[in-house]
Amino acid sequence: MDTRQATQNLAAFFETLSPHSVAQLHTVYDAQAIFKDPFNEVQGLPEIERIFRHMYEALDQPHFVVTGQVVDGLQAFLTWEFRFRFKRFDTTTLQTVRGASHVLFNEQGLVTMHRDYWDAAEELYEKLPVVGAVMRWLKARANQA
């Protein structure tokens, strides 16, 4: 198995992900894969698919841009930007969340573990109308100490 190729395949999959291609997650993920991000921790393709389907229900025009890849043995790190528009407020501003994913592959080149790292406070909560004002105030207070 070529981990570099598996990583490039995964990056291409996410950069072209659409509501229709979510059903093709089995081409890059093992059936019992684990997925974790700041809001979810699930195991198995049906649960991982549920998370990505919900993304398309909750957000407008969500898409990933992979900005970097580091491969070592059967693991890889991908840095990315997740771009979207909110459906309920500030629907015109393109939002960007920056993060990274740590993935482990099996010998077949399928993802067995996918963990996303990103700062929910800075990258998401600060962009919300009411919560954002509180988060920015808390951040300013913490930086004064």
Model confidence pLDDT, tens digit, residues 66-92: 999 999 999 999 999 999 998 887 788
Establish if 81 belongs to a structural domain: yes
- pLDDT at position 81: 96
- pLDDT at position 127: 61
Establish if 39 belongs to a structural domain: yes
Establish if 11 belongs to a structural domain: yes
Establish if 142 belongs to a structural domain: no
CATH code of the domain covering residue 67:
3.10.450.50
- pLDDT at position 23: 96
**Domains contained in the chain, number:** 1
32 neighbors 44 (Cβ within 8 angstroms): yes
Query: Which pTM does this prediction carry?
Result: 0.83
Closest Cα to residue 12, out of 41, 21, 46, 58? 21
Establish if 140 belongs to a structural domain: no
Residue 94's Cβ-count burial label (10 Å; 0-12, 13-18, 19+) is exposed
Model confidence pLDDT, tens digit, residues 86-134: 888 778 889 899 999 999 999 999 999 999 998 776 655 556 655 555 5
**Alpha carbon distance 70, 127 (integer Å):** 30
Sign of CA dihedral 121, 123, 125, 126: positive
The average confidence (pLDDT) of the chain is 89
Establish if 25 belongs to a structural domain: yes
Show the domain range for 99: 3-118
- pLDDT at position 123: 58
